[in-house]
DNA sequence: GCGATCTATGGAATCGATTCCAAATGTGTT
DNA sequence: AACACATTTGGAATCGATTCCATAGATCGC
């Protein structure tokens, strides 16, 4: 049995296609008897309006797409949960796709916006160069979350990464740290801002650091371990380490602990994100909480404005407040 | 400036719409000069064929949708990476959506298959009742991964959960355990099979257990802690605990350790999934590795058959081999 | 040089749902 | 009873890309 069309429904119900469509969309007035007949026919044929035909005619899809390199971070999945809920509240469906850091695949997914497969795009961790992101963002309904390219026209939703890094570094200094190190991801766009905050806090305390170590590729537990190993091998061991993510911090703690050092007594360690790992680590990690779910909701709201209000390409970042979460890995 | 259509391209290139379409799809022969003119016009107007119009005419979308309750498990993201790669190899785009365990939202997403928004569906952790899953799966291009409903007509890709649980339980017994407990998730469809395997291994060793504890809701670190707490409060403490996931095992280890017990000397603990947490835990966890990425690839391959070969609704599960990973949490 | 075959092309029909316009029916007013 | 007006309905046009069919032109053999 082939798929039923609006024609079939009309025939079965003994009305015209116009009436069927009116019942489906509740647009203008339809008599109660007609509505009843149509609904009966719809049920009988188990009819569903074909999405492509509807989208073609309406010139919109009520779908948005969220892009990220991968999905294995709790921050990402929380952000996307926020996007999804906000989308649902507004009658949209939000879909997610992973680029795996593949330029071509990312291009293909961005093309889904260009060719009208979706109405809007949420970009988490772009692989393409900054200028391309800006070009796309200026022309299309796009919003960036968390990782936002650094440019005049930058726009999107995130925390104030510079301030957050400043705050947590200050906390480390306040608890007695004199020699600080930082483990950051080379690829991260937030990295430069965080390094600024880190250095600013040091400068205000009359300190400085030559131990900002950058990791490449997969910035996870093992990266944390191997970067910490470099610290251990260095001539002067820091007494506090600020890590780009909680997972890296966990790796760092593990490496230090295995080397016989005590955290936080010998070396304090701070993470970032307040992900599940922060609580699972021993000792539990001091970290910065990002309001990930809320960021997702706000991102969708701003995207919605771009999608529906003509020419509303407002620029500028929207900052959401972060929160310092102090646990046992710093004293 | 409105979106360019195939008509506009035809006019600009001085050819007919048929020729433009032929160039786009490389279908039948087009002269070199015409091809050149069309490509120039496409570039000039930065034209992209509208997805909905194309999908309508072709009656397929070259998109598949992968559904899961949430995305915060490494197994899920690896499975979906496999699906995504296999899809890309075949010219498909794979999209992901989270249901959050919400029936209505799940229904809405399944409807995307019914209304032709996508060509196929990969279901990870269905919220709807088993019979509904079966109904959907029998009629439409659907494949289940990992969590597969238990029915005659069951079909999908997973490991042999019963055997895997048997294997790891046997390992616990082989290393000296006499009193075993199991922490499982009430909602998980794989749970019953794993419990079978657990009990079978016990029975073969002449043992039995009245300590199969079921967790509800969010089955994570805290669930592991609180279930372990129940074990500690019980009259006879087990000497080995088999946990449904690594994260739960990590919670269990933490609770036991905080209570002054040593893992594995006093109590051995085993996890499941070989996720990142297994290595991050102290001691590192013995666990079962699921070939998640490969499962995703195979799942797409089977889905592709369902989507393209008429009436090919082969039934039955496809099992992929699991692997026991022995680490320090068992001795 | 003429019919036969092949290649390239234009243009109309098509996919299925929506929407506009006009017509038909019904209601109320004087 | 006649007219104005509101409600409901049918049906054609529309969205944009694809594809089938017919034809114009080129190529070939004899």
Q: For residue A53, which residues of chain B lie inside 8 Å, CB to CB?
A: 52, 56
Contact criterion met (CB < 8 Å) for A109 and B93: yes
Q: Domain A63-159+292-321's class?
A: alpha beta
Q: What is the mean pLDDT of residues B26-30?
A: 79
Q: Which of A111-115, A149-153, B185-189 has the lowest mean pLDDT?
A: A149-153
**Interface subset of A 113-132, CB within 8 angstroms of B:** 114-117
pLDDT tens-place string over residues B66-85: 999 999 888 999 999 999 99
pLDDT tens-place string over residues B216-238: 888 899 999 999 999 999 988 99
Within chain B, all domains assigned CATH 3.40.50.2300 are found at 63-158+292-318, 161-289
Within chain A, all domains assigned CATH 3.40.50.2300 are found at 63-159+292-321, 161-289
Full DSSP string of B95-149: EEEE-TT-HHHHHHHHHHHHTTS-SEEEESS--S-HHHHHHHHHHSSEEEBSS--
CA B120 / C1′ C25 distance in Å: 47
Q: For residue A93, which residues of chain B lie inside 8 Å, CB to CB?
A: 97, 108-109, 112
Residue A153 confidence class, pLDDT cut points 50, 70, 90: low
Q: For residue A55, which residues of chain B lie inside 8 Å, CB to CB?
A: 51-52
pLDDT tens-place string over residues B46-58: 999 999 999 999 9
Q: What is the mean pLDDT of residues B258-279?
A: 96
Contact criterion met (CB < 8 Å) for A115 and B88: no
Nucleotide nearest to A19 (CA to C1'): D9
Q: What is the mean pLDDT of residues A7-11?
A: 95
Cross-strand pairs, A122: A66, A143
Q: Domain B63-158+292-318's class?
A: alpha beta
Within chain B, all domains assigned CATH 1.10.260.40 are found at 6-49
Residues, CB < 7 Å to strand D = A 14-19, 22, 28-31, 33-34, 53, 56-57, 59; B 3, 5-7, 17-18, 20-22, 24-25, 27, 47-50, 53-54, 56-58
> A121: helix, coil or strand?
strand
State yes or no: pLDDT of A154 exceeds 70.
no
**Residue B293: predicted pLDDT:** 97
Residue B2 confidence class, pLDDT cut points 50, 70, 90: confident
**Residue A223: predicted pLDDT:** 96
**Residue B152: predicted pLDDT:** 66
Residue B155 confidence class, pLDDT cut points 50, 70, 90: confident
Q: Which two tokens stand for residue A140?
A: 């299309």
> B180: helix, coil or strand?
strand
Percent of chain B with pLDDT over 90: 82
Q: Domain A6-49's class?
A: mainly alpha
Nucleotide nearest to A30 (CA to C1'): D8
Confirm or reject CATH 3.40.50.2300 for domain A161-289, answering yes or no: yes
DSSP class of residue A146 equals S
Give A170 to chain B, closest Cα distance, Å. 28
User: Could you tell me if A292 lies within 8 Å of chain B, comparing CB atoms?
Assistant: no
d(CA B213, CA B231): 9
User: Could you tell me if A93 lies within 8 Å of chain B, comparing CB atoms?
Assistant: yes
| Exposure b/e, A28-46, CB count within 10 A at least 16 = b | eebeeebbebbeebbeebe
pLDDT tens-place string over residues A306-320: 999 877 667 788 999
d(CA A105, CA A150): 23
**Residue B139: predicted pLDDT:** 87
State yes or no: pLDDT of B88 exceeds 90.
yes
């Amino acid at each position: 049995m082939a798929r039923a069309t609006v024609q079939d429904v009309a025939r079965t119900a003994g009305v015209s296609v116009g009436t069927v469509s009116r019942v489906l969309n509740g647009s203008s007035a339809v008599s109660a008897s007609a509505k009843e007949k149509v609904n009966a026919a719809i049920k009988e044929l188990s009819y569903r309006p074909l999405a492509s035909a509807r989208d073609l005619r309406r010139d919109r899809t009520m779908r948005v797409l969220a892009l990220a390199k991968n999905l294995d971070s709790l921050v990402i999945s929380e952000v996307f949960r926020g996007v999804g809920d906000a989308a649902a509240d507004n009658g949209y469906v939000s879909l997610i796709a992973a680029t795996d850091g593949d330029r071509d695949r990312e291009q293909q997914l961005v093309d889904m916006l260009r060719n009208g497969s979706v109405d809007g795009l949420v970009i988490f961790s772009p692989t393409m160069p900054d200028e391309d992101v800006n070009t796309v963002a200026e022309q299309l309904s796009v919003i960036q979350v968390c990782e936002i390219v650094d440019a005049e026209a930058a726009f999107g939703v995130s925390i104030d990464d510079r301030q957050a890094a400043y705050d947590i570094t200050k906390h480390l200094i306040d608890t007695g740290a004199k020699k600080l190190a930082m483990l950051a991801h080379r690829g991260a766009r937030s990295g430069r801002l965080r390094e600024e905050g880190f250095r600013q806090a040091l400068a205000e305390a009359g300190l400085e650091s030559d131990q900002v170590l950058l990791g490449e590729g997969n910035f996870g537990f093992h990266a944390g371990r191997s970067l910490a190993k470099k610290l251990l091998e260095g001539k002067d061991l820091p007494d506090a380490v600020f890590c780009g993510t909680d997972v890296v911090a966990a790796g760092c703690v593990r490496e230090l602990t295995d080397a016989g050092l005590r955290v936080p007594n010998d070396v304090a360690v701070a993470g970032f994100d307040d992900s599940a790992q922060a609580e699972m680590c021993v000792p539990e990690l001091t970290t910065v909480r990002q309001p990930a779910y809320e960021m997702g909701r706000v991102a969708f709201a701003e995207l919605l404005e771009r999608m529906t209000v003509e020419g509303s390409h407002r620029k500028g970042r929207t900052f959401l407040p972060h929160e310092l979460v102090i646990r046992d890995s710093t004293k």
